Chains A and B, each alone.
Chain A
Amino acid sequence: MLNFIFLVNKQGQVRLSQYFKHQDENERRDIEPEIVKKCLNRQENQCSFLDYKQYRIIYRKYASLYFIVAADEEDNEMAVYEFIHHFVETLTSYFDKVTEIDIMFNMDKVHMILMEMVLNGEIVETNKNRILAPLRTMDHASKR
């Protein structure tokens, strides 16, 4: 299962973090910067997968944003790798070229998209239109 996901900018500031299972606040404070540092420290030619404690970390860098996912060791890394890309693609299609500032000022929407895609740490929806359908309904309603 996916344990948590972070969105981090190049400076190392966490722009979004979502945990799919309970994690102690103190533990979060400890592991967040450690994982972020590990990922940001890596060269471009290095593998996108790394092990950290009991987690398998899969990260991808898009422009100036890092998308970091902590999965379980027995998870399929490539599947998670593709999931990250799909998440980015969904954001891109919703925001039309997503940037850090879009994510910062539309936190609710980003979380909604993520919640449509992942339930209880499992990927439950991969159809972009279905992921965006509830948001679309909401946007439609608020328009009036």
Chain B
Amino acid sequence: MDSPCVLVASCTEFSPFDLAKQILTADALPDPRQRLEGILAYPWHINTKYYTANVDICVTEKRTIGDQKFAESVEAFIVYFDSKDVGSFEQVRSWLPFIKEIEPSVQMLICECCDHSDAVPRQRVLKWCLDNTFELVELNPVQDSGSEEDDFQETTGMKRIIQALHAHTWSNLEMKDRPAFRSPYFEQLMVEEKAEKDAAKLQSGTNTENSTDSADNSQIHAHSIDNIQGELSKSLAGASKPDSEEAVTQNANSWSTSANDKETGGASDDMKVKKGEKTRKSKEQIQEEKIDSLIKDDDLSMLAALGNNESDHETFEELFAKMRIMKETAESLPAEERKLYAEKVAISFWKAIGGDEDEIEGLDSDDGGGMD
């Protein structure tokens, strides 16, 4: 089957080939293909953002719609006339019986410039267009000086002809593969959203690192040893510097044993202590780690910062926000550990608000001593 076509005709001296040339935006017309006698066809590839289509631009200098097969393929009709020549307009009118037969979807009446004072007044042309569903397109219209809203400036001339030809669902059009139409407006929003998210991620980079750490069990263990190392060297006064991991475990053992002793009033037998040692060791290790990891890194540094800069309201607010979390954590702990935890927090706070070191001097060591 032949491609659908645009039939181009002229009712003046103006050559319809010129119109075809302009539609094709070519300097020279390619070699035509004769579709019928007196009807020359030039292939035109239409490429819009939604579809592509291959149509023929058929130029005729006679008043003809060819045979039925050709007539059926005509989907657009463009006719040129001169508004200063009544005869020319009459010729356009004489096209009507032919056009009525084929009823093209797109129908355009072209002229240079249609004025009210022309031989064929603008109003008459417009009315005729309306009655016969044609669109009047002027190639050189009188420019309205700024009366139109700038955002929605009307397209005129050849651009409008091409635009109108694009705004037709050609029978052989092939839709472009658009899995989903994405609004440019939304594209922009998505880009902005992504940028925001990335910025947020960057900011909370350390936090997320911590959370992934705690999610990983093996890392918790490694962490706990580290923490205990630091904590024990601090809290157990007089304890030797823990050089090896074994030494740390030793210390932890003695610490938990004494805690166990305290709990049972020191009256437990060796077996019991030994047994408790084993079970409690791991338990306490984890608890200790939990407590330390909760206040150690961020909070302590924040508290320290608070101590340096007492007037900083933001830090104080942060502190209070953390305070609530700390309280919740404390509530979830058993009585014994809650005391320890509370003490640590209290000491941190004391230091943070720049309290006298003397007041808390010995608290750590006292505690440690008691455990020893």
A94-132 Cβ-contact flags toward B at 8 Å (1 or 0): 111001110011100100000000000000000000001
- On whether the beta carbons of B130 and A142 are closer than 8 Å, the reply is no
Chain B residue numbers with a CB within 8 Å of A92 are 151
Total number of residue pairs linking A and B with CB closer than 8 Å:
80
Chain A residue numbers with a CB within 8 Å of B160 are 64
- On whether the beta carbons of B50 and A64 are closer than 8 Å, the reply is no
User: Does A18 belong to the interface (CB within 8 Å)?
Assistant: no
A62-77 Cβ-contact flags toward B at 8 Å (1 or 0): 1110000000000000
- On whether the beta carbons of B181 and A139 are closer than 8 Å, the reply is yes
User: Does A23 belong to the interface (CB within 8 Å)?
Assistant: no
- On whether the beta carbons of B130 and A41 are closer than 8 Å, the reply is yes
- On whether the beta carbons of A41 and B127 are closer than 8 Å, the reply is yes
- On whether the beta carbons of A11 and B133 are closer than 8 Å, the reply is yes
A27-44 Cβ-contact flags toward B at 8 Å (1 or 0): 000000000010011001
Question: Roughly how many angstroms separate A43 CA and B85 CA in the complex, as a whole number?
Answer: 24
- On whether the beta carbons of B185 and A63 are closer than 8 Å, the reply is no
- On whether the beta carbons of A143 and B155 are closer than 8 Å, the reply is no
A24-61 contacts to B (CB < 8 Å): 37, 40-41, 44
User: Does A21 belong to the interface (CB within 8 Å)?
Assistant: no
User: Does B341 belong to the interface (CB within 8 Å)?
Assistant: no
- On whether the beta carbons of A106 and B130 are closer than 8 Å, the reply is no
Chain A at the B interface: SS class: helix
Chain A residue numbers with a CB within 8 Å of B181 are 106, 109, 139
How many interface residues does A have (CB within 8 Å)?
Answer: 32
- On whether the beta carbons of B163 and A93 are closer than 8 Å, the reply is no
User: Does B106 belong to the interface (CB within 8 Å)?
Assistant: yes
B129-172 Cβ-contact flags toward A at 8 Å (1 or 0): 01001110000000000010001111100001001101101000
CB distance from B148 to the nearest CB of A (A): 9
User: Does B48 belong to the interface (CB within 8 Å)?
Assistant: yes
Residues of B within 8 A of A (CB): 48-51, 105-108, 126-127, 130, 133-135, 147, 151-155, 160, 163-164, 166-167, 169, 179-186, 189-190
